[in-house]
Structure 1
Amino acid sequence: MRRFLIVFFFTNLLVIRVLAQDKTPKYLEDQYSWYLSLNLGNALGKYHDILKESEKAGIKGGIVIGGLMNPYKRKHPSTVFYGAEFGYQSEGRDGVTLTNAEGDFYVSNNAFWLNGLARYRPVLWSSKFNPYADAFFGAKLIKTSVVEQLGQDETQVLDGIARIVPNYGLGVGLGIKLFGQLKNNYLDIGVYYQQADATKIVKRNSVNINSDYRVSFKQVLTNTNQIVIKIGITGFL
């Protein structure tokens, strides 16, 4: 994966060099930008091994929405925009097989994060291809809930845990300029490394519910690092 990131980085540098030869650039002097992306995460290291043991490894889907601001507003263009993003990723749903209680139960695993973010776009004009690099730091909420399905639209949370840990990482991507009514927008494709500090999480497939509806489960200490592919739209205002 590191080799892939290195190749991706130098490919972006080559694109920048080609685009720098544009004779009639139109600068992006916008005050704000926004983005909405599909988030596809794949666990790394110990976290991947833990998920693989319980046959829960694989790509996890989510969504990310963010807003960025030109620090110079519209006075002149900036290669760096600053802002924040909110993200959600489903870590999957497990059934409860270890139970002596009557009912319909499941375990919901989710992650949420709020990051401060800086985006570097070296090409300042409205080019057909626009590379970028992101750096982010914030907090990640890892939440597991043991749920009883009471009816078609009614549920009750029996137990669970929620952990908040530092969340940070880097990413590189390439924007492809759209056209028509979307001419001020880019289709962005990026590769990210997302790291979160180690914390105790619920071990998958370890939840037990006894006849008194008391919940117990095992916990494991791990980080939740992952490689992320983001595919989405960025617009300028």
Structure 2
Amino acid sequence: MMVKNLLKQERVDYIQNRLEELYPETPVPLDHFDAYSLLIAVLLSAQCTDERVNQVTPGLWKLADNPHDMAQVPVEKIREAIRPCGLSPQKSKAIQKLSEILVNQYHGKVPENMAALETLPGVGHKTASVVMSQAFGHPAFPVDTHIHRLAQRWGLTSGKNVVQTEKDLKRLFPEDKWNKLHLQIIFYGREFCSARGCDGTVCEICTTCYPARKNPKKVKKA
């Protein structure tokens, strides 16, 4: 009997249902207490694990836990507090500068606006998307390296870059599922379909979607 790979819509339906079974609850992995603390935590998570960020942020909040106070902290002190996260010279300057901007332009509040967020120092599209979805509840589909890798392995995108992957995923999945799916895919990628742990022929979702796949799936880097 010939083994057939699932059609795209079958893959989409299966992935959505399986992730919901595996991860009915999706707590945000970065510890935070408001939109500002989430913004800073996501900024710190660039090229750094969430676990490391969660170890570092309590020390940072002791220095300042709001834009008004953070804008007054010397960059060197911020840098010292966040050093274990890596890229501390750039990140410390960005944290102080964006805190100043929030105070001067937004009354000390994080703007609930994608375009405004993307103008802040150290805040790219992915960071802005996470804040819009997890802090404010707006539909967004932030694509990180886990999601970019899995979307290709699961045949949901050609994966030229994260921009293309985001567009493809938004087209395939219902808008009201985006915020949760973003986290569910990250959780699954870390647990079952990591860069080294699966090559497109090992984990449950890969083998269910592509039972006929014989060779490792080559993934285009983000």
Q: Which TM class, normalised by the smaller chain length?
A: under 0.3
Length-normalised TM-score, structure 1: 0.23
Say which structure is richer in helix: 2
* Higher gyration radius (CA): 1
Say which structure is richer in strand: 1
Length-normalised TM-score, structure 2: 0.24
